[in-house]
Amino acid sequence: MKRWKLWLEEMWKKRSIKNQILISMLICLILAVALVGSMTFIFSKRTMERNYQNSHRYNLEVSGSIIDIQLQNIVDLSRTLLNNQNFKKIMTKKQKKSTYFSSRDDVVLNHTLRDLTEQNKYIQSAVTIHKRGNIYFYSKLTLQNGKMLKYHKNEDILAMDWVGVADREMGKEVFYGYNVLFDDNNETFSMVKALKNTEHGEDMGYVVFNIKKSMFLSAFGKGDEGYVTNRYMIFDKNENRSVSRPDWNLVYFHGGTDVKQEVLEDYISGETGKYLFSEVHNEKGDWEVVNVIAREELSRDSNYIAWISMLVCMGMLIICCLFVNGISKVITFPLEQLKKNIDVVSKGTFRIEEEFDETEIGKIGTQFKNTVNNNLDLHEKLLHSEIKEKEAELLLLQSQINPHFLYNTLDSLYFMAIIKHADEIADMVLALSDTFKLSLNRGEKLIEVGAEIEKIKAYMKLQNMRYHNRFELKIEIEESLISRKILTFILQPVVENAVYHGLEPKLGGGCSIHLSGCLDGEVMVFKIKDNGVGIVDMNLLDEGYGVKNIRERLSLFYGDQAGICFESEAGAGTEVTVRVPLYAEKEGE
């Protein structure tokens, strides 16, 4: 494969400009043929779909007319009730507050509704409801009588959603795509009507006809018309009629039901999916009469042309793709190689070990590699030098005092004070001796938290001797931190700053420092809080050598997880928080 690439590169370089232009044009021509073939197939497919929709729109209009005739027949039957004097007499008289009519009224209503339902074989049942809630139900199927008991026992039929819709229509017939009274496995749909007295327009009640959905069979006939996936359906888009049963918007589905749910989801989504829809609006039922067919079946006639075009185009495209792919890889490989290394450097892996070729881009990559690696070496050397410099600075501070001379001198002063019975001077000398011993820490960089606390206590003891017990020190350190080690000269300088800058300038007594320490996950957190004069300008903190030294030493030794921060209010005091990670303590040991 590598030889082939090299040969192809050499052959391309040897070609004349004329041949190169010819080859380029051939490639463009092949791509153009592929594009034209694809567009031809797409346009032919869309044309067939549009022709199918136009041709079936007439069929849908015929089906809609048949449905209108069938629904109009039922509407006419319902309106005959308004001319039936016996029926009107029952519905206009004042009935008792009950869910039943009287026995005498039942006989009249039974005769009336039976005669109506017998005139249309598709009307399966009918119910009339008085405006006071009296109900009479008649069904050709006597087994359905029990389904109305719920309205006689615990459900108020006048509170149903369809009653409100019928009232708003003021006597106009309203068709629902389902049985509004009870569940009958979706075998019927309902027509509801508010009954108005024709003489003076007063409300009498309601009538509901439940009609068999098999009535729609005659509207669609066989329905396949030479297609396998051809389907018809009636859909209700009126939201007012879907309040109580929003999942019953599908009134009727004609054809194989194995794909009904899939077709319904595709239609409701309104997006271009697997199926093509044609529809007309049915005025009488206020429904959509829809024709459905799978796009795949509809486009079969154009598949032959598509296959031929596809085979030709695929052959050309394969050759073109291989050619373009090979050339593009040769050109872009050094760039990809360089980009990959830049990404690696940006993610933190700073050293580059990748080898680049001798192309122009490869030379740039080699230069980038050398620059990054050299910068890394310089950075490491600089960091090492800074650490050594800080360590030397600390050692210089410690070495300025001769420990043996200091200890011997302080011991002599201590015993002289004892001999002279100067107990306060003796205590001060002893505290000073303890402070220096703990501060020098035998030259070690790390010190136990407990020893650091003792150093602070000794320092505060000296200050109280100087200022006649003016300062109070409160210490609350978790027991688990006492044996932990931290970098020396971290906490004691903060306490010293609190005394010098916060408490000494404060007038009067009540000066206190509160030192606390706890473990927060893998980090030790120390807080030093005083009630001194506070800090007016926080920007001046880092100008002092002490705070700046603490911050730099924490950063160099512990990294980004360690730090020191200040919160202060003028006249109220200052709180300093020092955070030291545990893992750094272990590495330091």
Per-residue pLDDT tens for 352-362?
A: 666 777 777 66
Of the candidate ranges 158-172, 197-211, 571-585, the one whose mean pLDDT is the lowest: 571-585
* For range 253-265, the mean pLDDT: 83
Contact (CB, 8 A) for 177 and 170: no
* For range 409-424, the mean pLDDT: 66
Residues in the chain: 589
Q: Indicate if the pLDDT at residue 286 is higher than 80.
A: yes
Burial class, 549, CB count within 10 angstroms (exposed 0-12 / middle 13-18 / buried 19+) = middle
Q: How far is CA 363 from CA 6, 369, 370, in A?
A: 20, 10, 11
Q: Which amino acid is at 328?
A: S
Split at pLDDT 50, 70, 90, the class of 238 is confident
* For range 190-217, the mean pLDDT: 90
Q: Indicate if the pLDDT at residue 132 is higher than 80.
A: yes
Name the range with the highest mean pLDDT among 4-13, 178-187, 253-262: 178-187
Contact (CB, 8 A) for 161 and 215: no
Question: Torsions phi, psi of 387, nearest 5?
Answer: -65, -45
Residue that has been written with the tokens 């795949």 in this structure: 296
CA angle 508, 513, 516 (to 5 degrees): 165
Split at pLDDT 50, 70, 90, the class of 304 is low
Split at pLDDT 50, 70, 90, the class of 236 is confident
Q: Indicate if the pLDDT at residue 33 is higher than 90.
A: no
pLDDT value for 71: 92
pLDDT value for 588: 44
pLDDT value for 400: 47
Q: What is the pLDDT of residues 534-578, one digit of tens each?
A: 887 777 776 665 788 888 888 888 888 899 999 988 888 899 999
* For range 256-280, the mean pLDDT: 82
Contact (CB, 8 A) for 514 and 503: no
pLDDT value for 46: 73
pLDDT value for 476: 93
CA gap 32, 36 in Å, rounded: 6
Split at pLDDT 50, 70, 90, the class of 586 is very low
Contact (CB, 8 A) for 177 and 251: yes
Q: What is the pLDDT of residues 439-474, one digit of tens each?
A: 555 557 788 899 889 888 888 888 888 788 888 999
Name the range with the highest mean pLDDT among 356-365, 399-408, 501-510, 569-578: 569-578
Q: Which amino acid is at 119?
A: Q
Q: What is the sign, positive or negative, of the torsion defined by CA atoms of 170, 171, 177, 180?
A: positive
Contact (CB, 8 A) for 274 and 266: yes
Q: Indicate if the pLDDT at residue 191 is higher than 90.
A: yes
Beta bridge partners, 577, equal 527, 565
Contact (CB, 8 A) for 117 and 146: no
pLDDT value for 437: 59
Q: Provide the percentage of residues in the chain whose pLDDT is more than 70.
A: 70
Residue of 309, 273, 308 whose CA lies nearest to 292: 273
Q: What is the overall mean pLDDT for the chain?
A: 78
Q: What is the pLDDT of residues 325-362, one digit of tens each?
A: 565 566 666 666 666 767 766 666 566 666 777 777 66
pLDDT value for 584: 46
CA gap 239, 251 in Å, rounded: 13
Split at pLDDT 50, 70, 90, the class of 415 is low
Give the count of beta carbons closer than 10 Å to the beta carbon of residue 383: 11
Residue that has been written with the tokens 């001060």 in this structure: 428
Residue of 466, 487, 469, 485 whose CA lies nearest to 555: 487
> What's the token pair of residue 293?
């067919």
Residue of 368, 325, 324 whose CA lies nearest to 345: 368
* For range 406-415, the mean pLDDT: 61
* For range 249-277, the mean pLDDT: 82
Q: Which amino acid is at 525?
A: V
CA gap 554, 561 in Å, rounded: 9
* For range 313-329, the mean pLDDT: 63
Give the count of beta carbons closer than 10 Å to the beta carbon of residue 230: 21
| 121 vs 225, residue with greater confidence | 121
CA angle 484, 486, 491 (to 5 degrees): 115
Q: Is residue 220 classed as helix, strand or coil in its secondary structure?
A: helix
* For range 112-126, the mean pLDDT: 92
* For range 228-242, the mean pLDDT: 81
pLDDT value for 587: 44
Q: Where are the beta strands (DSSP E) in 269-327?
A: 275-282, 287-294
**Strand ranges across the sheet with 188-196:** 135-139, 123-130, 203-212, 188-196, 174-176
Q: What is the sign, positive or negative, of the torsion defined by CA atoms of 97, 103, 106, 108?
A: negative
CATH architecture of 27-321: 2-Layer Sandwich (3.30)
Q: What is the pLDDT of residues 246-257, one digit of tens each?
A: 456 888 888 777
One of 3.20.20.150, 3.30.565.10, 3.30.1330.10, 3.40.630.30 is the CATH number of 470-588, namely 3.30.565.10
Q: Indicate if the pLDDT at residue 481 is higher than 80.
A: yes
**Any idea what DSSP says for residue 494?**
H
pLDDT value for 516: 94
Split at pLDDT 50, 70, 90, the class of 513 is very high
- Break the chain down into helix, strand, coil percent, rounded to 5: 60, 20, 25
Question: Torsions phi, psi of 526, nearest 5?
Answer: -115, 135
pLDDT value for 323: 59
* For range 10-22, the mean pLDDT: 56
CA angle 549, 550, 555 (to 5 degrees): 100
Burial class, 441, CB count within 10 angstroms (exposed 0-12 / middle 13-18 / buried 19+) = middle
Q: Indicate if the pLDDT at residue 57 is higher than 70.
A: yes
Q: Indicate if the pLDDT at residue 401 is higher than 70.
A: no
Going by C-beta distance under 8 Å and a sequence separation of 6 or more, which residues neighbour residue 501?
532, 533, 535
Residue that has been written with the tokens 């000398």 in this structure: 429
**Any idea what DSSP says for residue 258?**
G
CA gap 545, 512 in Å, rounded: 24
**Strand ranges across the sheet with 250-254:** 250-254, 231-235, 287-294, 275-282
pLDDT value for 144: 82
Q: Provide the percentage of residues in the chain whose pLDDT is more than 90.
A: 18
pLDDT value for 309: 67
* For range 406-425, the mean pLDDT: 65
Residue of 452, 445, 442, 437 whose CA lies nearest to 391: 445
Question: Torsions phi, psi of 132, nearest 5?
Answer: -95, 0
* For range 78-90, the mean pLDDT: 90
Split at pLDDT 50, 70, 90, the class of 397 is low
